[in-house]
Amino acid sequence: MNRHVLLFVLLFVTAQFALAADYPTKPIRLISSMPAGGSVDLVARAVAQSIGQGVGQQVIVDNRGGANGIIGTELAARAAPDGYTFVLVPTGHAVNPALRKLSYHPINDFTPVSLIASGQYILSVHPAVTAKSVNELITFVKTRPGKVFYASSGSGTQGHLAAELFKSLAKIEMSHVPYKGGSQAMTDLISGQVQVVFNNLATSLPLVKSGRINAIASSGRRRSPLAAYLPTVAESGLPGFEATVWYALLAPARTPAPIVSRIHQQAAKGLSEGGLGDKLESSGYEVVVSTPSELSDYLKSEIVKWTRVVKVANIQVE
């Protein structure tokens, strides 16, 4: 390597570490890519608290909802890579490239920091559905072509995509009934207007325990600690099935590595101590901390998977 180039590299690296040593000197902004009051906001505030306690500066949650997370994520992509802007994105970050034209690249325009948490769905049915397992449900649907309806909280939502992945792997046909939110979808499942739904675990479990709906399986790679008695879809006859809602912490591309490392460490420490992780788990989520490299690989695989599902099902959104 040329001596001048080597000197430049050394000076650059030294400057980065000097920056990290003094960092942070002012409050940090954490963009929540969904509106206040929802699950993304809940996780964002837990992350903000865990990081803020560790670095000694306030971490301000900036709710920038809209366009399924695109508005806030775009804002983060354009922010200065100085360690004072981060963004919390949900699973939609990996789905949006297949459904919408984006002004940013979901991988190249960001520096991965860590996965934060994930939540499972429960594959649930109305009590009139006689199936008690995944294989029995598949048989039930196959013997009633065109007569089984599944609900979701809207076209392109994770519950919709989970059901389409299930249909594809099981080689069955069910008719989609999209709603404008999960509450109405669950109401119509309870009343029998629809027969099947993939809905979040926290909302579904009380209804299962009361006998108003029946649970068939959970949607994760492994059984949920919150419902360990439920087998996963994958272990019940559809290997490879996994559909979860997850939350990831990203920074603008070219954010200095020492800063990313520090934020990663503080987020991981804060979520494992002090009861913040317990707060998320009480809301139906599992704390899942990853390395930046693991998050990068995971995001790429999720984009590939959900792009394939969108294309096979010909899913379109307005």
pLDDT at 254: 98
CA distance 92 to 99: 10
Rounded to the nearest 5 percent, the helix, strand and coil shares of the chain are 45, 20, 35
pLDDT, tens digit (0-9, with 9 covering 90-100), for 219-265: 999 999 889 999 999 999 999 999 999 999 999 999 999 999 999 99
pLDDT at 274: 61
Among 42, 33, 158, 51, smallest CA distance to 88 is for: 33
pLDDT at 7: 42
CA angle 11, 253, 250 (to 5 degrees): 120
Q: Which residue ranges form the domains of the chain, and what is each CATH number? A: 3-118+245-313 (3.40.190.150), 120-236 (3.40.190.10)
Among 241, 189, 196, 229, smallest CA distance to 212 is for: 189
pLDDT at 112: 98
CB within 8 Å of 36: residues ≥ 6 apart = 63, 65
pLDDT at 111: 98
Q: What residue has token string 């070219």? A: 254
pLDDT at 13: 46
pLDDT at 10: 42
Contact 135, 124 (CB under 8 A): no
Longest CA pairwise span in the chain (Å): 77
Which tokens hold the place of 247? Answer: 């939350």
The one-digit pLDDT tens for each residue of the chain (318 residues) are 555 444 443 444 444 545 567 899 999 999 999 999 889 999 999 999 999 999 999 999 999 999 999 999 999 999 999 999 999 999 999 999 999 999 999 999 999 999 999 999 999 999 999 999 999 999 999 999 889 999 999 999 999 999 999 999 999 999 999 999 889 999 999 999 999 999 999 889 999 999 999 999 999 999 998 899 999 999 999 999 999 999 999 999 999 999 999 999 999 998 887 677 888 888 889 999 999 999 999 999 999 999 999 999 999 987
